[in-house]
Amino acid sequence: MTDDTQKLREELQQLREDYEALEHNFDIMSEGYQESLLLYDKLEETYHELEETNKQLEIARHRAEEASQMKTNFIQQISHEIRTPLNILNGFTQILTTPGMELDEAMQEEVTKGIGENTERITSLVKKMLELADANSSDELERNDDVPAVQIAAQAADESRITLATHLTFDLDLGEGADMAMMHTNLQQATRALSLLLDNAMKFTHPAEAAGGAAAVTEKARVVLRVSMATEQQIAFTVEDTGIGVPPEEAEHIFDEFVQLDDYYDGTGIGLTVARSIARRLGGDIVLDTAYSGGARFVMTLPL
């Protein structure tokens, strides 16, 4: 009986040892399984990161291609914009230098006017190019002028020559308090930014070349420049037109360099870029009012 008891004890001890060995092996297996799960999770996370990186790289590649194409289009457009007035000036020069050519008073006025207009066109284009070089600058512009807000509106209208445009009617609307509002700003730069908005309104209320020019007009376009108090500390210059408008999804894209939403309209695609840059460097901003559907409405806010 004693031998049987001893044998049973030995078998129980062996079972206990076997169980402990199995338990130890199970713990090792469990740790290995947990490590495998962690490794799998890490690999999956790395895969998703790589997938996201690939997506970002694809987006960057697409944007680079788009930017390259826009720059190509810009260079082509600049070439066209410069070549056209140069050809006109060349034509006038040939008229003036032709031996024995006598011009009557009407022709002399036409030649003088043509030379002036096309010289100014080239000068304006060069000016935009120089302004574009500063468009990405974050440096604040000096504000040393104390002027009425209405003066900026009036000078911008004169500078843009929108009052002389024959394809539209132009109105200046002064809101309550705005007619007496004084601003501490940079008169030249604030006027320039607003005149670029008016230039944009003139351009996109005019019939596109593909539409057959002025002959396609059935109703006169309208542009309104509203000056109003945005807040107690801000003045708002709102340029509202009845032109082709801007899709809401393009509200930010149109402020990028070289962007032209409609290839049938002449232009360099830098006016809005320069205008917003100036406004922001004066402590304000320019935005597209996407709630307006009758054309386009741009709002430039500047501090008083």
What per-residue confidence (pLDDT) applies to 221?
93
Consecutive H or E run containing 299: strand 296-303
Handedness of CA 265, 62, 129, 272 (dihedral sign): positive
pTM of the model: 0.64
| Alpha-carbon span 200 to 265, nearest angstrom | 11
What per-residue confidence (pLDDT) applies to 84?
81
| Alpha-carbon span 282 to 91, nearest angstrom | 42
What per-residue confidence (pLDDT) applies to 63?
67
64-81 CB burial, b ≥16 within 10 A, e <16 = eeeeeebeebbeebbeeb
Structure tokens of 57? 């790289």
* Amino acid, res. 14: Q
End-to-end CA distance of the chain: 110
What per-residue confidence (pLDDT) applies to 211?
47
What per-residue confidence (pLDDT) applies to 25?
73
| Alpha-carbon span 122 to 113, nearest angstrom | 14
What per-residue confidence (pLDDT) applies to 212?
47
Spatial CA neighbour of 147 closest among 282, 239, 287:
282
Per residue of the chain (304 residues), what is the pLDDT tens digit? 567 777 777 777 777 777 777 777 767 777 777 777 788 778 788 888 888 888 888 877 776 666 666 566 666 666 667 778 888 888 878 877 788 777 778 888 888 888 888 888 788 777 777 777 777 777 889 999 999 999 999 999 999 999 999 999 999 999 999 989 999 999 999 999 999 999 999 988 987 654 444 444 557 899 999 999 999 999 999 999 999 888 889 888 888 876 666 555 555 678 899 999 999 999 999 999 999 988 999 999 999 9
